[in-house]
Chains A and B, each alone.
Chain A
C-alpha cells in the first residue's frame, strides 16, 4: 500500500529526515513511534504531499506522490496533529465541506456525514458550532473529516494529544474498528502504550532516522535476557554508577532524575548486589523495581533517553 524509499528532508542546515525507508502492507495498522522532534510529522507531511522531499520517493498503491499528487491524495485520509476545522461552522457543515473537498457530491456527503457522526459519537450535536465543543469532541470530528471519503490509507498524526482519557479511549477504539474494516492505518505517536496497543508493526524514529522496525514481538525479542531495574535513591553519584556497572551481568546504566535505570541479564538475581552497592556509597534506597521489557525499554537501550524526554 505504501512504499517509502530513502526519504530525506532538510530545513536549512538541520536534517529533519535522514534516508528513511519502510513499507506498509494493505490492511496493516502501522505505528510510527518516536519522541517529539524525531521527524515523524515531517515523514507524514511528505507522504501527504505537503512537503517535497529533498531525496527519495513515496509510492501509495504504486503511485508517486510527487508525480501524481492528486490521484494519491484521493486515496489518503489525513488526520492532522492540530485540529484543522472551522470553528464557526457546525459539526455537520464541517464534515460536509471536507467530504465535498474530497470529491463527494453534496447528497452523498450528507448521507456519509450522518454515518460518520454516529461513528464518532456526536450525532446528537451535529448542528452545534464547533467553537463550543470540548477538545476531545473536536478531535473526533477532526478524525471524522478524514474518513468522509472512505480512504484506503488513513494517516493519523498524534490524534490523541491533549485530550481526556475517555475521548482517548474512544479514539483508539475507532482506529481499531477502521482497521478491522480493511483501512490501512499509519498511526504516529510519542505515547508508547497507544502504539503497543494498536499497531501490528512499528517503526521507531529518533533524530530523523528509523532506529528499529518490526512487529511488536520482533522488537521486544531484541531485549530477551535484558530487562531493566528502576532504582530510586536519595542522591545519585558518579561513583555509585561506576560501582553498579561493575556488577556482573549489568549491561547498561542510565541516570534519571531521581535514580538510575539499570539493564541487566536476569535482573532479579542482581537486586541484592545493587542494594549493597548503594549501601557501600552511603546512599539510601527508596525503591527498586524490576521492569518487563517493552518498547520504552528498547528505545532507552538504543538511545539512552526516554521516549518523552
Chain B
C-alpha cells in the first residue's frame, strides 16, 4: 500500500515535468523518424552495384569510430569485394595517391575523431575525389557521409539528453533542440546510401525498424539516471530520512521508488512502440505479446539498475559521473549508435555485457518473426540484470 503511494507520487512527479516528457518520450520518437527515413535502404539488403574502387585511407584517429569506418563499413562483407582499401601513412600521401591515379578516392579521418563524436561535437572526415572517376567518388563520399552523420546525430542527441538529465552543465532547451533538429533535417535531405547488410532472420529489418529498436533500447537506459537521481534528490531534500521515520520498512520505501521508475519506463516503452507504429508504420512484428514481455523485463532491468546506481552514489554529482559515462558506453557498444551488424566479433562479445544489447537484438528478432524459445535467453539475462541490481542496491541502501 505505502509502496504504491510512493510509486504514484513519483510517477506524478515525472509526468508533471515537461522537460522529462520532452526528453524521455518525444525525443526518441522524433529521432527514430528522422534517422529511419533518412537512412532508409541502408539495411534493406538493396545494395546498389558500383564499380570496383580503390580508396586511400589516412586514419589518424586512435579511437574506435575511425577504425569502425575503415574495417566495418568500407571493408564490410558487402563492400569489400568492390572497395579496395590502401592504407596511407598520412593525409598528404593519400591525396598524392589520388593525384597520381594510384587511388580513386582518399578518405582522411582526422586525429581524435572518435573523441569529438563521443562528446557530441562535429568531427570532419575529408573525402578527396579523382575528378575523372566522380561516380566512384560520390558513392564513397555518400557512404562516409552517411556513417558520419549517424554517429554525429546520435552522439549529439545522446549528449544533449545526458547533459540535461544529468544536469552536469546548464543548457537551454530553446537553443539546443533547434540546433539538433537542423542537423537531423540535413541528414533527412541526404540521399540514403548503402553501407551494411541486414540482420539475419526470416526477413531483414528496415532502417526504420532498426532505429526504432535502437532508440527504444537507448532511451530506456536514461531511466537509470532518472531513478537514481530521484532517490538522491529525496536524500538531499531530507524527505528520504523523513520517510525512514514513518512506520514503513526501508524495503517497502525502496521498492516504492523502484516501482515509480518501472512505471515510467513502461509508459515510455508503450508510448514509443504505439507512436512509432501508428505514426511511422514501424512493424514491431506479428506478436505483440513478445514485445510486451520484453518491454516489461527490460523496464524491470533498467529500474533495478537505477536502484543499484543510487546505492553506489552518495551525491547527485556521483550519479552524473557514473550514470552519464555508463550510458554513453552502453549506447555505443550496445548497438544504439551504429548497427550491431557492422560490429567486429570482438566488439559483439563486449556488447553482450550491456543490457541494451539484450533488448535491441531480441526486438529485432521479434520484428523478424522469432519463436518464443529464442527470446528465453535475452529475457532471462535482462531479468538477471534487474533482479541482481535491485537486490544489491536495496541491500546497500538499507544499510546506509
List residues of A whose CB falls within 8 A of some B CB: 48-50, 70-71, 73-74, 76, 78, 80, 82-89, 97-98, 100-103
Contact = CB atoms under 8 A, between A and B. Distances in A.
B245 A88 contact: no
Main DSSP-derived SS at the B contact region: helix
A71 B248 CA distance: 10
Interface in B237-259: 237-239, 241-249
Contact of A101 (B2, B237, B238): B2
A87 B233 CA distance: 12
A102 B239 contact: no
Size bin of chain B's contact surface? 10 to 19
Contacts of B2: 100-101
Contacts of B16: 88
A50 to B, nearest CB: 6
A101 B234 CA distance: 15
Contacts of B239: 84-86
Interface string B209-250: 000000000000000000000000000011101111111110
Contacts of B5: 97, 100-101
A101 B13 contact: no
Contact of B238 (A49, A76, A82, A97): A82
Given A80-B238, A97-B5, A88 B13 contact: yes
Contacts of B9: 86, 89, 97
Given A48-B245, A86-B237, 20 more contacts: A50-B245, A73-B245, A73-B247, A74-B247, A76-B245, A78-B242, A80-B241, A83-B238, A84-B237, A84-B238, A84-B239, A84-B242, A86-B9, A86-B239, A88-B13, A88-B16, A101-B2, A101-B5, A101-B243, A101-B246
Nearest to A74: B247
Contacts of B242: 78, 80, 84, 98
Secondary structure class of chain A's binding surface, majority of residues: loop
Contacts of B244: 49-50
A80 B243 CA distance: 11
A48 B248 CA distance: 12
Contacts of A103: 247
Contacts of A84: 237-239, 241-242
Contacts of A85: 239
A65 B25 CA distance: 45
B250 to A, nearest CB: 10
B247 A70 contact: yes
B6 to A, nearest CB: 8
Interface string B37-61: 0000000000000000000000000
A88 B243 CA distance: 17
Nearest to B256: A101
A252 B248 CA distance: 52
A36 to B, nearest CB: 17
A103 B237 CA distance: 23
A98 B5 CA distance: 10
9 smallest CB-CB distances across A and B, nearest first, come from: A84-B238, A84-B242, A73-B247, A101-B246, A74-B247, A82-B238, A78-B245, A48-B245, A70-B247
A80 B9 CA distance: 21
B246 A50 contact: no
Contacts of B237: 84, 86-87
A199 B242 CA distance: 25
Contacts of A48: 245
Nearest to B9: A97
Interface in B242-299: 242-249
Nearest to B244: A50
